[in-house]
Amino acid sequence: MALGRDDVAAWLRALRVVYAENKTLLTDLDAAIGDADHGINLDRGFSALVAELDKNAPADIRGLLQTTAMTLIRHVGGAAGPLYGTFFLRAASACAGKQRLEAPDVVALFEAGLQGIVERGKAAPGEKTMVDALAPAVEAMQRSLGDGGRLGDILQAGAQAAEEGMKATIPMEARKGRASYLGPRSVGHQDPGATSAWLLVKTAAERWR
């Protein structure tokens, strides 16, 4: 199965619902080790995105992802704005000229997005960040693709790896961002960024079965 423009739009709109539902969870996780605004910021960003799509929806996949990037950059105040903004910006470039996304294209979308986040945030795996969920997710997707998996299986593998990666952030000591102020006190808390990154992959897996 290949994805069309409407499937991508449906994913983005579903993310708005998912982040609204998990606003409190994300904000609480952030409260423990950050500044308690991650859920609020993502909720605001994706609400603004849906309002934008309602007003003025781009006709192609690249345009959709680009609009997502711009809206998040504009409306998500904290570090998540530029980070997820860059994710979608690079994802948009990866989809340039494509009307339909086959399985390898979807994996390439996530690869490019992850690459953007790594370059922007300069975080390595193990530093208690989004990368800890996204990097294993992308690796799992690449493996599954290599094994000839269907798109649904590929995304399922990605979501599962993201979830494991997210949970693995609990015993980690934060080395990036505001949570790093807490040093050893950040141990024992799940990273909010890794959690929102897991939701990003998980929602794709659910939407694009």
Q: 101 pairs with which residues across the strands? A: 3
Q: Check residue 89 for interaction with another protein (CB under 8 A).
A: yes
Query: How far apart are alpha carbons 85 and 188 in whole angstroms?
Result: 29
Nearer to another protein, 97 or 184 (CB): 184
The residue within the footprint of another protein, chosen from 1, 2, 99, 185 (CB under 8 A), is 185
The residue within the footprint of another protein, chosen from 6, 17, 24, 124 (CB under 8 A), is 24
* 8 A C-beta contact, residue 84 and residue 48: no
Q: Which amino acid belongs to residue 9?
A: A
Q: Check residue 177 for interaction with another protein (CB under 8 A).
A: yes
Q: Check residue 82 for interaction with another protein (CB under 8 A).
A: yes
Q: Check residue 81 for interaction with another protein (CB under 8 A).
A: yes
Q: Check residue 31 for interaction with another protein (CB under 8 A).
A: yes
Q: How far apart are the first and last CA of the chain?
A: 9
- The footprint of another protein on this chain (CB under 8 A) covers a number of residues equal to 32
Query: How far apart are alpha carbons 78 and 98 in whole angstroms?
Result: 31
Q: What residues between 96 and 155 interact with another protein by CB under 8 A?
A: 120-121
Query: How far apart are alpha carbons 193 and 118 in whole angstroms?
Result: 13
- Assign 112 to helix, strand or coil: helix
- Assign 57 to helix, strand or coil: coil
Nearer to another protein, 7 or 111 (CB): 111
Q: Which residues bind another protein (CB under 8 A)?
A: 24, 27-28, 31-33, 35-36, 41, 44, 70, 73-79, 81-83, 85-86, 89, 120-121, 177-178, 181-182, 184-185
